[in-house]
């Protein structure tokens, strides 16, 4: 059934969202890029279509993007997380919301600055209520890695959420775009993935490397949930 669900990428005009939209479209999924600016979303979508040689991506505003999708991927900056999602609460009911939000607080983005409560994703789940199945993923994958379709991404994806079935679905999606998804606990455990992004930025700076990532060791090579 790979490639059957339509995936909305809110913030898909940014680097991280654009990279994920590209990967999902390349893997055969219909993708709708959402943005506050529908014209910019349409432009980003047409670039992806050009790049993959298929007309599989379209762009529109965030509300329209959610309406047409089964899976919604949130990739806006932390400062825009709640204000992007809150007006979409009704439209998100019953859907899986993959939240890739990292609580980076500029200018000190290499410092872990977790929000009150400990996790941006867990806070969003609490705000939206149980009718929206929020799953944390993709915080540690560099946008540059995602944009480079010719290379494997040397980074695991920690997948956290309170709904086990939704987590399983997200791991399937992660694997569909060639990454390894690992179930890492309930929504609050997203704190680890959120904190790790600042650690990876600190490592990039200290060791003068472009993009560090993480791997979980000790798992069998092809472990399924």
Give residues in contact with its own copies (CB under 8 A): 110-114, 118-119, 154-155, 158, 182-186, 188-189, 191-192, 195-196, 198-200, 202-204, 206-207, 209-220, 223, 225
- Give the HSE-up count for residue 100: Cα atoms under 13 Å, Cβ half-sphere: 27
58: Cβ contacts below 8 Å, ≥ 6 apart = 31, 32, 33, 42, 45
Nearer to its own copies, 14 or 103 (CB): 103
Choice between 155 and 173, CB closer to its own copies: 155
- Asked if the bond preceding 107 is cis, omega within 30° of 0, the reply is yes
Q: Which is nearer to its own copies, 83 or 208 (CB)?
A: 208
Exposure string for 183-222, b = 16+ CB within 10 A, e = fewer: bbbbbbbbbbbbbbbbbbbeeeeeeeeebbbbeeeeeeee
Instruction: Write down the least CB distance from residue 99 to its own copies, Å.
Output: 16
- For its own copies, which is the closer residue by CB, 60 or 142? 142
Q: How far is the CB of 70 from its own copies (least distance, A)?
A: 25
Assigned token pair, 160:
């956290």
To its own copies, the closest distance from the beta carbon of 100 in angstroms equals 17
Cβ at position 25, least distance to its own copies in Å: 25
Q: Cα(40)–Cα(34) distance, rounded to whole angstroms?
A: 9
Smallest separation (angstroms) from its own copies to the CB of 73 = 22
Q: What angle do CA 190, 102, 34 make, to 5 degrees?
A: 110
Looking up tokens 């479209």, which residue turns up?
25
Identity of the residue, 19 or 34, whose beta carbon is nearer to its own copies in the bound complex: 19
């Amino acid at each position: 059934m790979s490639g059957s669900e339509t995936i909305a990428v809110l913030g898909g005009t940014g680097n991280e969202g654009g990279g994920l939209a590209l990967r999902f479209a390349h893997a055969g999924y219909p993708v709708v890029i959402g943005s506050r600016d529908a014209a910019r979303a349409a432009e980003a979508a047409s670039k992806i279509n050009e790049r993959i040689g298929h007309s599989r991506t379209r762009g529109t505003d965030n509300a329209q993007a959610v309406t047409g999708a089964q899976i919604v991927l949130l990739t806006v900056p932390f400062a825009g997380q709640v204000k992007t999602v809150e007006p979409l609460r009704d439209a998100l009911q019953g859907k899986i919301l993959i939240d890739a939000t990292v609580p980076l607080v500029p200018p000190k983005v290499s410092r872990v600055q977790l929000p009150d409560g400990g996790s941006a994703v867990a806070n969003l789940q609490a705000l939206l209520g149980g009718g929206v199945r929020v799953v944390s993923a993709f915080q540690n994958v560099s946008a540059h890695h995602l944009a480079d379709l010719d290379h494997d991404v040397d980074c695991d994806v920690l997948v956290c959420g309170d709904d086990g079935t939704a987590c399983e679905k997200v791991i399937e999606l992660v694997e569909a775009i060639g990454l390894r998804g690992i179930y890492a606990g309930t929504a609050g455990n997203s704190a680890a993935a959120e904190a790790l992004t600042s650690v990876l930025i600190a490592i990039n700076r200290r060791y003068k490397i472009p993009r560090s990532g993480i791997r979980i060791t000790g798992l069998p090579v092809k472990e399924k949930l």
